[in-house]
């Protein structure tokens, strides 16, 4: 209890974490309870009600097929949040592992891993993701893989950099002198000490991953209609910008608010956990 | 400086070869036969025709031979032919690259102008209303989906209030500039008006990042002893800020701007699709949709090469700006 209270007291000085947290709790709540909260089936069409901005029973109006935009947004939140989590999971796990190995073992392994990361960084992230998804084929899972893989170098570099600092500390020297093996040192002593910067970057990357995935869907490479994915909704809705601007406006707003939530948390956490990282 | 330049060049070569291998492998990850995919898996496509196309593209060769041919072609400036049009990939890219360069450079200009100005003012007036507004503005800037920002700008500034054209490109800005010198000023205005919305869409998120970095770099420099000395000897605040602080704060910003250029080239894919801007970003999306893999592969390769080159130039500029870097 004492610890929780201490944390809450620390949070009080960081309103951004609180605002971001509230936004994300709300989005998660809406996503989890989408089947209960959605007034309509996200894919059921009522063509006689198409492109209505205000119509009874449809809180945010209807799209070109008379589908309920609010219901589609709620289900879309599930997709976007999962995309963020899976993509960040892939990037942080692979990148983190590569960075850890490169930083701890050093030498040739380090050079090989880091040159590979240089090569990946030479292709702008979104273009690399587009290339990967083009090779794997369109679809939401492939988008998650593509976005995750294209973020691997960011984690690898960050973790390697942090490991290099931690490796030289006296406590690592001490456990080494005690004869601990490399694997144990990595798991018990290095990883917990580089957790803070990885957390900060991961929460920021959640926002970027959601943006990138929505961008790929916007280009027609991600979720396919009639899936209620925000990027796809926006992409379809842009054709009706002149006659029914509300159709592309709401999904864009949903992406924007969710990404802001993650960035608020990331920014706030950075200040909270490690003021030295402050940009 | 010579050794530094040579070192950087030596570092670049393996990266370029690695990128070519990566791009090649991604292109060949595609499950199935690209020629069959090109025919849309239609039954009845002539097997002999398919075999001859496969031969022509070198797809009947083992993978390592295909890669060596790709690398050899790259060294000669030959990226093969587009499956759809039969034109040389290099020529297709050449035709579209100027539009992307124009867009990316304009966006970079917007990003640096807004980002550096906001960052410097924020740092100079730390914790002021402007600082808070700019910090929040930057956070909003990095969170906004570019495709949505583009559509909203299009809706409000082209559809509702028709200040700018909805989409497309009138003519190359350089050509319009030439025409305006011969008295046809309206041509330049027209070309520039087409460029404004896409450039803002692409440049604003990047301006946010530049603003954040400039602010933090300025704050760090403003805390240095030589700034205190400059103040102590009675220099005006403006001189301290621009002569002493900004120059030194610009070093990390220059690196960031170089990196941003790569992101702008990548981001151009989405912005060009929103505004129907005829650049390589839109071309790569079309190539992927039409399964024209030599074209898609060629574009990714060229963008990566440009990015590597820009970063090399930034590194060299960095070495010239900051003597400490050269002797590290």
For chain B, how big is the Rg over CA atoms in Å?
Answer: 24
Residue B173 has pLDDT above 90, yes or no: no
Residue B103: the pLDDT is: 96
Residue A77: the pLDDT is: 96
B 102-131 residues with CB < 8 A to A: none
**Between A246-273 and A69-105, two packed helices, what is the crossing angle to 10 degrees?**
30
Token readout for B36 is: 């069959």
Q: Which of B15, B19, B29 sits opposite A136 (nearest CB)?
A: B29
Token readout for B42 is: 């239609």
Distance (Å) from the alpha carbon of A29 to chain B's nearest alpha carbon = 21
Could you tell me which residues are beta bridge partners of residue B81? Answer: B88
Of B318, B129, B131, B107, residue with least CA distance to B211: B131
Residue A7 has pLDDT above 80, yes or no: no
pTM of the model: 0.90
- Cβ of residue A118 closer than 8 Å to a chain B Cβ: yes
Other CB atoms within a 10 A radius of the CB of residue B125 amount to: 12
- Cβ of residue A214 closer than 8 Å to a chain B Cβ: yes
**Using a CB-CB distance cutoff of 8 angstroms, which residues of chain A are in contact with residue B19?**
119, 122-123
Q: Within 13 Å of residue B145, how many CA atoms lie on the same side as its CB?
A: 35
Average pLDDT taken over every residue of chain A: 90
- Cβ of residue B182 closer than 8 Å to a chain A Cβ: no
Residue A256: the pLDDT is: 97
Vertex B175: Cα angle to B172 and B179 (nearest 5)? 135
Query: Contact B117/B215 with Cβ under 8 angstroms?
Result: no
Percentage of chain A beyond pLDDT 90 is 59
Residue A1: band (very low, low, confident or very high) from pLDDT cuts 50, 70, 90: low
- How far is the C-alpha of B106 from the C-alpha of B83, rounded, in Å? 32
- How far is the C-alpha of A244 from the C-alpha of A61, rounded, in Å? 10
8 Å CB contact of B19 and A119 = yes
- Cβ of residue A130 closer than 8 Å to a chain B Cβ: yes
Question: How would you class A168 by CB atoms within 10 Å of its CB: exposed for 0-12, middle for 13-18, buried for 19 or more?
Answer: exposed
Element (H, E) at B272: helix B247-275
- Cβ of residue A264 closer than 8 Å to a chain B Cβ: yes
Residue B257: the pLDDT is: 84
Residue of A nearest to B214 (CA): A279
Residue by residue, DSSP assigns B289-306 as HTT-HHHHHHHHHHHHHH
Residue A279 has pLDDT above 70, yes or no: no
Instruction: Tell whether omega for the bond before B130 is within 30 degrees of 0, i.e. cis.
Output: no
Token readout for A252 is: 């864009």
- Cβ of residue A116 closer than 8 Å to a chain B Cβ: yes
- How far is the C-alpha of B80 from the C-alpha of B89, rounded, in Å? 6
- How far is the C-alpha of A133 from the C-alpha of A218, rounded, in Å? 13
Residue B174 has pLDDT above 90, yes or no: no
Residue A275 has pLDDT above 60, yes or no: no
CA distance readout (Å), B161 to A136, B157, B189, B200: 42, 5, 18, 17
Residue A278: the pLDDT is: 43
- Cβ of residue B273 closer than 8 Å to a chain A Cβ: yes
Residue A277 has pLDDT above 50, yes or no: no
Residue B42: the pLDDT is: 55
Average confidence (pLDDT) over A116-128: 91
pLDDT tens figures, B109-121: 999 999 999 999 9
pLDDT tens figures, B258-287: 878 888 988 899 999 999 999 999 999 999
Residue by residue, DSSP assigns B57-108 as TTTTS-HHHHHHHHHHHHHTT---B-TTT-SBHHHHHHHHHHHHHHHHHHHH
Residue B32 has pLDDT above 70, yes or no: no
Question: How would you class A173 by CB atoms within 10 Å of its CB: exposed for 0-12, middle for 13-18, buried for 19 or more?
Answer: exposed
Element (H, E) at B28: none
Q: What is the DSSP letter of A34?
A: H
Residue A157 has pLDDT above 50, yes or no: yes
Residue B84: the pLDDT is: 81
- How far is the C-alpha of A164 from the C-alpha of A104, rounded, in Å? 7
Q: Which of B145, B269, B273 sits opposite A214 (nearest CB)?
A: B145
Average confidence (pLDDT) over A119-132: 91
pLDDT tens figures, B194-216: 999 999 999 999 999 999 999 98
Establish, for the pair of chains A and B, how many residue pairs have beta carbons separated by less than 8 Å. 141
- How far is the C-alpha of B288 from the C-alpha of B300, rounded, in Å? 11
Residue A199: the pLDDT is: 84
Percentage of chain B beyond pLDDT 70 is 94
Residue by residue, DSSP assigns A216-256 as HHHTTSSS-TTS--HHHHHHHHGGGTTT-THHHHHHHHHHH
Average confidence (pLDDT) over A196-213: 89
Residue A136 has pLDDT above 50, yes or no: yes
Query: Contact B215/B123 with Cβ under 8 angstroms?
Result: yes
Other CB atoms within a 10 A radius of the CB of residue B69 amount to: 16
Residue of B nearest to A251 (CA): B148
- Cβ of residue A277 closer than 8 Å to a chain B Cβ: no
CA distance readout (Å), B249 to A151, B219, B236: 28, 9, 18
Element (H, E) at A47: none
pLDDT tens figures, B218-256: 998 888 888 889 888 888 888 888 888 888 888 888 888
**Using a CB-CB distance cutoff of 8 angstroms, which residues of chain B are in contact with residue A117?**
none
Q: Which of A115, A238, A241 sits opposite B14 (nearest CB)?
A: A115
| Predicted complex ipTM exceeds 0.85 | yes
Residues 6+ apart with CB under 8 A from B89: B79, B80, B81, B82, B294, B295, B298, B299
Average confidence (pLDDT) over B296-308: 92
Question: How would you class B110 by CB atoms within 10 Å of its CB: exposed for 0-12, middle for 13-18, buried for 19 or more?
Answer: buried
pLDDT tens figures, B45-68: 677 888 887 787 777 888 889 899
Query: Contact A136/B305 with Cβ under 8 angstroms?
Result: no
- Cβ of residue B307 closer than 8 Å to a chain A Cβ: yes
**Using a CB-CB distance cutoff of 8 angstroms, which residues of chain B are in contact with residue A115?**
14-15, 18
8 Å CB contact of B269 and A126 = yes
**Which residue, chain included where needed, has tokens 């990282």?**
A277
Token readout for B8 is: 């950087």
- How far is the C-alpha of B272 from the C-alpha of B276, rounded, in Å? 5
**Which residue, chain included where needed, has tokens 């770099």?**
B217
- Cβ of residue A243 closer than 8 Å to a chain B Cβ: no
Average pLDDT taken over every residue of chain B: 87
Torsion-angle region of A66 (φ positive above 0: left; ψ -120 to 50: alpha; else: beta): left
Average confidence (pLDDT) over B143-171: 94
Mapping DSSP to helix (H, G, I), strand (E, B) and coil, where does residue A21 land? helix
Distance (Å) from the alpha carbon of B173 to chain A's nearest alpha carbon = 25
Residue A179: the pLDDT is: 86
Residue B322: band (very low, low, confident or very high) from pLDDT cuts 50, 70, 90: confident
Residue A80: the pLDDT is: 94
Of B67, B90, B78, B76, residue with least CA distance to B18: B67
Residue B41: the pLDDT is: 54
Average confidence (pLDDT) over B157-164: 95
Residue A135: the pLDDT is: 87
Residue A9 has pLDDT above 80, yes or no: no
Query: Contact B211/B122 with Cβ under 8 angstroms?
Result: yes
pLDDT tens figures, A222-238: 988 889 999 999 999 99
């Amino acid at each position: 209890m004492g610890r929780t209270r201490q944390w809450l007291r620390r949070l009080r000085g960081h309103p951004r974490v609180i605002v971001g947290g509230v936004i994300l709790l709300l989005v998660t709540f809406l996503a989890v309870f989408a089947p209960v909260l959605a007034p309509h089936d996200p894919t059921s069409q009522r063509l006689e009600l198409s492109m209505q901005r205000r119509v009874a029973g449809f809180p945010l109006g209807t799209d070109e097929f008379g589908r309920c935009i609010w219901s589609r947004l709620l289900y879309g939140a599930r997709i976007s949040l999962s995309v963020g989590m899976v993509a960040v999971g892939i990037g942080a796990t692979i990148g983190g592992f590569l960075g850890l190995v490169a930083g701890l073992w050093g030498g040739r392994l380090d050079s090989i891993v880091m040159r590979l990361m240089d090569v990946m960084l030479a292709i702008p992230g979104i273009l690399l993701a587009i290339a990967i998804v083009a090779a794997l084929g369109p679809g939401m899972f492939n988008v998650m893989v593509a976005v995750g893989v294209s973020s691997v170098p960011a984690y690898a570099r960050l973790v390697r950099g942090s490991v290099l600092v931690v490796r030289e500390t006296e406590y690592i020297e001490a456990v080494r002198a005690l004869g601990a093996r490399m694997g144990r040192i990595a798991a018990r002593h290095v990883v917990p000490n580089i957790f803070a910067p990885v957390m900060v970057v991961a929460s920021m990357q959640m926002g970027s991953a959601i943006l990138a995935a929505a961008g790929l869907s916007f280009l027609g490479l991600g979720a396919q209609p009639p899936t209620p994915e925000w990027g796809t909704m926006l992409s379809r809705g842009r054709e009706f910008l002149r006659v029914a601007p509300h159709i592309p406006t709401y999904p864009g707003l949903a992406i924007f608010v969710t990404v802001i939530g993650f960035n608020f948390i990331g920014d706030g956490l950075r200040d909270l956990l490690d003021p030295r990282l402050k940009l | 400086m010579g050794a530094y330049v040579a070192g950087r060049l030596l570092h670049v070569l393996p990266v370029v070869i690695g990128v070519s291998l990566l791009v090649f492998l991604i292109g060949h990850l595609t499950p199935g036969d690209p020629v069959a995919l090109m025919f849309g898996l239609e039954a009845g496509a002539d097997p002999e025709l398919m075999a001859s196309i496969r031969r022509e593209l070198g797809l009947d060769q083992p993978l390592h031979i295909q890669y060596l041919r790709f690398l050899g072609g790259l060294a000669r400036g030959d990226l093969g032919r587009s499956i759809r049009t039969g034109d040389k990939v290099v020529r297709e890219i050449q035709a579209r690259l100027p539009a992307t360069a124009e867009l990316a450079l304009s966006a970079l200009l917007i990003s640096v102008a807004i980002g550096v100005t906001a960052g410097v003012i924020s740092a100079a007036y730390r914790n002021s209303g402007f600082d808070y507004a700019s910090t929040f503005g930057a956070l909003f800037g990095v969170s906004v989906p570019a495709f949505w920002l583009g559509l909203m700008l299009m809706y409000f500034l082209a559809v509702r209030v028709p200040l700018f054209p909805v989409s497309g490109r009138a003519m190359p800005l350089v050509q319009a500039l030439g025409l305006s010198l011969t008295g046809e000023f309206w041509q330049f205005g027209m070309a520039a008006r087409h460029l404004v919305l896409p450039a803002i869409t692409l440049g604003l998120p990047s301006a946010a990042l530049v603003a954040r970095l400039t602010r933090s770099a300025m704050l760090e420099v403003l805390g240095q002893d030589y700034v205190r000395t400059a103040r102590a000897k009675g220099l005006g605040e403006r001189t301290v800020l621009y002569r002493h602080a900004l120059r030194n704060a610009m070093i990390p910003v220059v690196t960031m701007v170089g990196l941003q250029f790569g992101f702008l080239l990548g981001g151009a894919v989405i912005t060009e699709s929103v505004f129907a801007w005829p650049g390589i970003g839109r071309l790569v999306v079309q190539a992927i949709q039409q399964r024209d893999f030599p074209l898609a592969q060629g574009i990714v390769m060229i963008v990566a090469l440009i990015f590597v080159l820009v970063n090399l130039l930034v590194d060299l500029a960095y070495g010239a700006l900051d003597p400490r870097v050269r002797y590290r």
